[in-house]
Structure 1
Amino acid sequence: METVYGILIPFLGTSLGAACVFFMKHSLSDRVQRSLTGFASGVMVAASIWSLLIPALEQSAAMGTWQFIPAAAGFWIGILFLLLLDRTIPHLHQNSEAAEGPGSNLQRTTMMILAVTLHNIPEGMAVGVVYAGYRLGNSGITAAGALALSLGIAIQNFPEGAIISMPLRAEGIKKSKAFAGGVLSGIVEPIGAVLTILASGFIVPVLPYLLSFAAGAMLYVVVEELIPEMSQGEHSNLGTIFFAVGFSIMMILDVALG
């Protein structure tokens, strides 16, 4: 059951964040959005390092001097995978007028949901890979370490849920539909995690590659999308400060629980 809870915790974070649409009358201010985006970025960077890349290196220790190969290779595959998704899925980021990806007749609100969904794909993969490694029993990944990753991603998913549902409400969408849009953007996380765990029997030899793959995918999202968003306009230092807050919290969680 702890694996089931671990998979659902990040999705719960997204859903609770999306529920803000029922309690807040106005859309999030630019300062708040920038702060929340910076916080999410910090959590994702710290999770990529402590929960994914370092374990990938540790599991390749038997390779000696060449232990960096699985981590480096998986990292780059993750980067290229997200680059491919970025180019093939039409999506629209908050505070942006021009959609990215191929031309599409999709509604603006649909493309906004797709943008956050892209962010959530690597997070779901990361949770799935870590819990798959824990279930194998010989990967060096502990239940506490897997829980730390789930909690960290859930914490950063809360503002992401609000960031998608509140702008949808501002677009004139009903509260219930705006909430559903925020929840829908996070559904890929438990789905991706379950699929990864179901394939756990096949990933033993390539677990270091998969851990670093998830790290590369997450860092692509941070550098390509989140950091530019948190740095736009005035008071960009808010994003930087909250990046540090998010990074510190995720680092503490991983070290204390892992």
Structure 2
Amino acid sequence: MHQILTAVSMTAFPCLCTALGAGAVFLARPAPGGGPGQGLAGGVMLAACVFNLLLPAAESGWLAPAAGLVAGAALLLLAERLAGALENGERVGKPGGWGAAVAIGLHNLPQGMVVGLAAAGTAGQTGAAAAGALALSVGIGLQNLPEGAAVSLPVWRAGAGRWKAFGAGVASGLVEPLGAALAAVLAGGVLAGLMPWLLALAAGVMLAAAVQEPLAGAAQQGAGGVLAAAVGFGLLMALNLALG
């Protein structure tokens, strides 16, 4: 139990950062065609897909990132089709901006598991090992700042209220404690073997959602939308590279 509590506590800072990022929705102002928010969200999602998911998955070889990416995208499209059939043919992912929330939430699950694995290995320890796990938690938290905004802003631009959009952003970060607890329970060789596939599946969901919603909207805005996407990608890329 102590190991689980240690793992979950390590995700408190990342969850707080996600909530702070989602709070950007209270500062945003309405803009024609959704403004730069869609491009920023799409760029952040693409960078998270590459740097937080695919590159770590690729450390195990080429099969998991390649097959998992395609499988994750197919799973999202299938889920949307099934949801659309249940809602009289109206696909929920496209008009509501919720695809970004689902994608980043799924991305946060293996991210929380990574934190949980690191924390589980340092439960009750001090020194370099514990400091390394804490640094990982802080690094992921700082990366979560733009990700929280990448959820709340598209949901708000699509017509949801600010508080509802903020709640979506916060909820996307609450997946991380669940992932950390699961990792602490299942810590060992089996989970470590599955992690590349989980990361790649999340990357596929992220990629499909980014192409469908924020990047498609950014492309319709012309040069401004494309530039905003580049800024979002560069921001999260810089955070990843700076934090190692």
Q: What's the TM-score, normalizing by structure 1?
A: 0.71
* TM-aligned CA distance change 1:227 to 1:7, over 3 Å: same
TM-aligned CA deviation for residue 192 of structure 1: 2.2
The verdict on how the C-alpha distance between 1:102 and 1:114 changes in structure 2, with shifts beyond 3 A counting, is farther
Q: Is the 8 A contact 1:79 1:217 kept in 2?
A: yes
Checking the alignment, whether the CA contact within 8 Å between 1:39 and 1:244 is kept in structure 2 is: yes
Q: Distance in 2 between matches of 1:186 and 1:160?
A: 5
Give the Cα separation in 2 of the matches to 1:10 and 1:122. 14
Match of 2:192 among 204, 216, 223: 204
Is 1:89 paired with 2:83? Answer: yes
Aligned-pair CA distance for 1:146 = 5.2
Q: CA RMSD in A?
A: 3.1
Task: Give the direction of change, closer, same or farther, for the CA distance of 1:189–1:167 in structure 2 (3 Å limit).
Answer: closer
Q: 1:147 and 1:210, CA in 2 relative to 1: closer, same or farther beyond 3 A?
A: farther
Q: Can you list the C-alpha shifts for 1:24-69, whole angstroms capped at 9, x where unaligned?
A: 5xx3332xx24221111111211221222111122x1xxxxxx211
Aligned counterparts of 1:221 and 1:237: Cα–Cα separation in 2: 21
Residue in 2 that maps onto 1:19: 26
Matched AA of 1:47: A
Matching of residue 220 in structure 1 with residue 208 in structure 2: yes
Mapping for residues 41-56 of structure 1, pairs under 5 Å: 41-56=42-57
Three-state SS of the structure 2 residue aligned to 1:112 is coil
* Aligned counterpart for 1:165 among listed residues 150, 156, 166: 156
Is the CA contact (8 Å cut-off) linking 1:129 and 1:211 kept in structure 2? no
Q: Does 1:255 align with 2:235?
A: no
| Structure 1 residue 183 displacement after superposition | 2.4
Structure 2 residue identity aligned to 1:152: Q
Larger deviation: 193-202 or 221-230? 193-202
**2:228 aligns to what?**
242
| Identity fraction in percent | 24
- 1:97 corresponds to: none
* Aligned pairs (5 A) from 1:1-258: 1-14=9-22, 16-20=23-27, 24=29, 27-30=30-33, 33-58=34-59, 60=60, 67-89=61-83, 102-104=86-88, 112=96, 114-135=98-119, 137=121, 143-144=134-135, 147-158=138-149, 160-165=151-156, 168=159, 178-200=161-183, 201-202=185-186, 203-232=191-220, 235-258=221-244
The SS at the match of 1:199 is helix
Alignment partner of 2:40: what SS? helix
Structure 2: which 5+ residue stretches go unaligned? 1-8, 123-131
Q: CA deviation at 1:238?
A: 1.0
Given the superposition, is the C-alpha separation of residues 129 and 83 from structure 1 closer, same or farther in structure 2, using an over 3 Å criterion?
A: farther
Does the 8 Å contact 1:43/1:152 carry over to 2? no
Segments of 5+ residues of structure 1 without an aligned counterpart are: 61-66, 91-100, 170-177
8 Å CA contact 1:43–1:153 kept in 2: the answer is: no
Q: Using the alignment, how far apart are the partners of 2:218 and 2:48 within structure 1?
A: 19
Change beyond 3 A, Cα 1:114–1:229: same
Decide whether aligned partners of structure 1 residues 254 and 120 sit closer, same or farther in structure 2, where only a CA change above 3 A counts: closer
TM-score (norm 2): 0.74
